[in-house]
Amino acid sequence: MKFRRQTILPLQRSARPQSSLTHFVALLAFALIVQATLFGTSAAAAAKKIIFDTDPGSDDAMALMLALNSPELDVRAITVVPGNVTASQGLENALKMVSLAQRCDIPVAAGAQHPLFQKLITAEFWHGKNGLANVELPASKCEVDARFGPDLIIQLIHASPHEITLVPVGPLTNIALAVLKDPSIVPLVKDVIIMGGSIKGGNVNASAEANIYNDPEAAQIVFQAGWTVTMVGLDVGDKTLLTHQYLDELGKMHGPVNDFIHSVAAYLIDLSAQFNSPGTPMYDPLAVGVAIDATLVKAPEMHVDVETRGEFTRGETVANRQGYVERNVLRGDRYVIEGADKVVPNAKVCTEVDAARFLKLFVSRIQGK
């Protein structure tokens, strides 16, 4: 019996490790599958839901394609506002670009047809006759969403409270109309990142940036709505130039989106050269970049108002950098300064940018990397 135990036990011991190993491998495989599933789910859930409000001109095209090619962003809707081009041309451009990107799943809706109080100023001079650097895209396979743009904005915000980031890169007419119709959306919005404004002077004239200038009243409504606006304006856009160096990188790869953006960028770089600039400012794409990665910029808090009446300053974004205003009290025939009152910031004003890092990001995303 003693001998039998010695012969049987080694067999039992050799069999048990094999069974344990098989069980371990099975558990490990299961754990890896679960981990991959959970990681994929969490990555998808982490994507920032955005509504992209646009007046589809040439830099809007670059911004839209950046957004659609960035896994950090989940574009829930595209709403069209007049600005660079008319509302009808802008809607056609948006539908064509979404079709080119094979993203007909994203609703594209028409919005306002004109600014709130003034006549529309279009910019074919800068963006080409069709707004897309005269590049003719194939007819769209996508259908326009029947909803009115501001209504769609309101609906999506209520459907996903505290999850939607608004990224308007044109005049702020649609956003203002949404706020006016339903002010309850303001505390439900996660973030507002606009391309517009400047605290260093304008590009339309000495004081105003184009998007704000095209509807100053709408811009003032948006800035004073009660949320915090991240203002990605000329202060950082003019420091972020897409030059021939980056154009050459784009030219190394080919595909429908890459080739389209390469053509648009080439047009804008050539146009900028006529004004003695080595590259084209990446105004709208940078706003999308900030939505992807806020660390690309430094944005101190300030209180911003929009001038709506000045003869020379209409459309200027007036930023209070010092954080207070003097308190003047009428005493007889004059006012007397009796103190200084703090002002509450309503904006994060982008003043510095890591331009090289953003431009590398832009090129890699357009190339599908």
Query: pLDDT (tens digit, 9 = 90+) per residue, 18-74?
Result: 555 555 545 555 555 545 444 444 444 589 999 999 999 999 999 999 999 999 999
Nearest to 220 by CA among 168, 283, 175, 184: 175
Give the pLDDT of residue 217: 98
Phi, psi (degrees; rounded to nearest 5) at 123: -130, 45
CA-angle at 282, arms to 278 and 285, nearest 5°? 155
For residue 356, the SS3 value is helix
83 in any annotated domain: yes
Helix axes 58-68, 283-292, angle to 10 degrees: 20
89, part of any domain: yes
Q: If you write DSSP's letter for every residue of 252-277 in order, what string do you get?
A: TS-SHHHHHHHHHHHHHHHHHHTTT-
- Predicted confidence (pLDDT) per residue in 118-157, tens digit: 999 999 999 999 999 999 999 999 999 999 999 999 999 9
Query: Residue 9: its pLDDT value, please?
Result: 42
**pLDDT (tens digit, 9 = 90+) per residue, 220-267?**
999 999 999 999 999 999 999 999 999 999 999 999 999 999 999 999
Q: Which domain holds residue 282?
A: 47-366
- 363: burial class by Cβ within 10 Å (0-12, 13-18, 19+)? buried
- Say if 362 falls within a structural domain: yes
- Determine the pLDDT at residue 26: 53
**Is pLDDT above 60 for 308?**
yes
16 within a domain of the structure (yes/no): no
The arithmetic mean of pLDDT across residues 344-367, rounded, is 98
Q: What residue type is assigned to position 64 of the chain?
A: L
For the residues 262-288, what does the mean pLDDT come to? 98
* Domain assignment of residue 30, yes or no: no
Distance CA 251, CA 265 (A): 11
Q: For residue 63, what is the domain's CATH number?
A: 3.90.245.10
Taking the C-alpha atoms of residue 356 and residue 153, their distance in angstroms, rounded to an integer, is 33
| Average pLDDT score, the chain | 92
- How crowded is the C-beta side of 158, counted as CA atoms within 13 Å? 11
Report pLDDT for 58: 98
pTM: 0.88
For residue 18, being part of any structural domain is answered with no
What's the domain count of the chain? 1
| Structure confidence at residue 11 (pLDDT) | 41
- The reply to whether 1 falls in a domain is no
- Tens digits of residue pLDDT in 194-230: 999 999 999 999 999 999 999 999 999 999 999 999 9
Tokens of 188: 């439900």
Neighbours of 41 (CB within 10 A): 10
